[in-house]
Amino acid sequence: MKHYKWQIPITIVCLIFGVLFAIQLQFQSTKPVSNLRNQDLVNLIKELEISSFSLEDEIDNLRLEITSFQEEQASGEIALRQLQRDLSSLRDLTGLTEQKGPGVFFTIDDNRAGADAAKAASLENFRPDDYIVHYKNVLYLVNELRQVAGAVSVNNQRIVASTDIRCVGTVILINTTRLAPPYEIRAIGDSELLFQTITGSYEYAYLQSLGFPIKVTKEQELTVPAFRGSYRYNFAQAIVEEGDN
Amino acid sequence: MWLPIIGLIVGIIFGSIFTFSIPVMYAKYMGVALLAGLDSVLGGVRSIMEDSFDGPILLTGFFTNILLAAFLAYVGDRLGVELYLAAVFAFGVRLFHNLAAIRRIILNKFNHHL
């Protein structure tokens, strides 16, 4: 039995090989990319490590920068204080802050008494326009005050550089707010000077001569509100000189 | 003649029926061992055809090759050297060598019969 002799060992070997082969095949088919994925993960970790190294470098650099800034701060604080002073005075000048101080307070109302009297006298000749306060009356009075006052308001509307006093039908528009009589005008400044400016103005004399109820008082303490609108210049740009910084 | 082939088929069926779960980290060693086993099987077939078959040599060769290949791959991984590539290369070359020899023998027999 020459054939019998070799058949047993090779059969055993084939059997074991078959088992191993099947196991490996089974395993590889369930997890075919496990090794690949492992390698991917390893690469990912390496990349992340590299990026974290560079981020650490960046942190170091930023810390150095912070230190140098902190050293500069001592000298910077002086400059900052100066800038803040400038800023607050600019805010005061542009009417963004509430102001307090001595000044004059005066009210002006429509001439109702005159209107009633004129209506009673002759209805045909009665012109209601002659007895109401017009926007230009307020505008002229405010203009008189602005040249000497630090801060002016009309019915709690602060008068600033962009303020507009306009006529809109039966009321007056100031700072996009509609106001109706009586108009209360507050002006902060030298109260004596303001008083004389007002009472000596042409507009004051004119209104008084027409019989409008107008009352001016000197005040020790007045409060003028802040401007609540917005300054918006979309097109105008400041010209910055080279080297002006 | 048919006994080894039947053995192979039975082995594959056996391995397919029983689900052995190999840890992921050992899968690579298993693959190398499989390659060594395949080399041994082909070496056995070749020796039968050359009439120089020796049962103990085949059996010991089969097991030592399998274990040694897996062990070498493992040691290589421990040392950080990809030694399993050496095993793959060595057994791969021998595998093709054996296949070529088997092919030549079959062709020779065929020619003699003609």
C-alpha B55/C-alpha A160 separation (Å) is 112
Return the domain boundaries, chain A. 2-32, 99-224
Measured between CA atoms, how close is A4 to chain B, in angstroms? 9
Q: Is residue B69 part of a domain?
A: yes
Domain A99-224 has CATH 3.30.70.1880: yes
Which residues in chain B are contacts of A12 at CB distance < 8 A? 7, 59
ipTM rounded to 2 decimals: 0.79
Q: Does any domain span residue B10?
A: no
Within a domain: residue B11?
no
Those residues with Cβ within 8 angstroms of residue B3's Cβ, 6 or more apart along the chain or in another chain: A7, A10, A11
B52 lies in which domain range? 23-113
- Flag whether B9 is in a domain: no
Would you place residue B93 in the very low, low, confident or very high pLDDT band (cuts 50, 70, 90)? very high
**Stretch among A70-74, A159-163, B84-88 having the lowest mean pLDDT:** A70-74
Average pLDDT over residues A110-135: 81
Inside any domain, residue B87: yes
Residue in A9, A20, A26 closest to B58 by CB: A9
Which chain A residue has its CA at the smallest distance from B37's CA? A17
Query: Which residues make Cβ contacts (< 8 Å) with residue A13, sequence separation at least 6?
Result: B4, B37, B40, B41, B44, B58, B59, B62
Q: B55: which residues sit within 8 A by CB, 6+ positions away?
A: A5, A6, A8, A9
Is residue B12, in this structure, part of any structural domain at all?
A: no
B17 in any annotated domain: no
Flag whether B4 is in a domain. Answer: no
What six digits make up the tokens of A122?
């002759």
pLDDT digits (tens, 9 = 90+) for B27-86: 778 888 888 888 888 888 888 888 887 888 888 888 998 898 888 888 888 888 888 888
Give the mean model confidence (pLDDT) for residues A99-125: 83
